[in-house]
Amino acid sequence: MSKARPVGVPVTTPGATQGARSNYTNLRVEPADHAIGRSRGGLSTKIHQLVDGAGLPLVVLVTPGQAGDSPMFEPLMAQLRITRPAGRPRTRPDALLGDKAYSSRAIRTHLRSRRITAVIPEPDDQKRHRQHRGHRGGRPPGFDADRYKSRNVIERGFNSTKQWRGLATRYDRLATIYRGAAVLRAITLWLKRLGDAP
C-alpha cells in the first residue's frame, strides 16, 4: 500500500476544453517498476497531469514516488492531443504554467522551439547563477506574474482527484490499473463540466 503524491503542470489552451526505467511511450505496457518507488514517506506513486485552464486533466501519467517532476515534462507533452472538429489534433498550447520545478534550461528551450509561452518563475539559485555570470548570464526569462496566479487550478484539481480513496492511497498492484483509475477520475470531472453527469 503506497500513498499517491500528485503533481502537475497546468496548460492553457483557448478553445480546448522518465524516470525510474518505466515505459511512458507505450501506456499499454506495464512498467517494470509498477510505478512504485521509495520516497521520504515510504513507498509511493506520483500522478503527473497536464490540465487545461479550467483544471480539467488532458494527460495523466504515473511514476514511482522518487521520480522527479522535471524529467516527466517531455513525456507529458508527447501525449498531449486535443481533437478539433476539423484537421489534426492540437498538440501545442498557447502557454504553459508551471512551478519552479520546471524552470530548467532544457524545458525553456523546448517551449521556445515550439513557440509556447513559458509562465514559469525562476528559482533563486538560478537568479544568483545568472547574476554571478554578469553580462554572460543573459537576460532574465520573461515571467507574467498576473497570469501565474491562475496556476492554483492544478492544486484544486488534485484536491478533487484525491477525494477518491483508491487514488489518495494506492491499493492497486499494477501501474496500468492505478493509472486507469486516475483516467476514470479525469473522465468524471470532464462529464461534470460538460453537463452529462450530476
pLDDT of residue 28: 65
Spatial contact of 33 and 43, defined as CB atoms under 8 Å apart: no
Could you tell me the three cell numbers for 194?
460538460
Per-residue pLDDT of 1-18, as tens digits, reads 444 444 445 444 333 333
| DSSP code of residue 85 | S
Alpha-helical (H) ranges within 66-172 are 73-79, 105-113, 124-132, 145-148, 153-161, 165-168
Per-residue pLDDT of 119-157, as tens digits, reads 888 887 777 777 777 776 666 677 788 888 888 888 888
Domain that residue 98 falls in: 2-194
Query: How many domains is the chain built from?
Result: 1
pLDDT of residue 118: 87
Per-residue pLDDT of 152-185, as tens digits, reads 888 888 888 888 887 888 888 888 888 888 899 8
Long-range contacts of 171-175 (CB under 8 A, 24+ apart): 171/1, 173/34, 174/30, 174/34, 175/22, 175/30, 175/31, 175/33, 175/34, 175/35, 175/36, 175/45, 175/62
Could you tell me the three cell numbers for 79?
501525449
**What pTM value is reported for the model?**
0.74
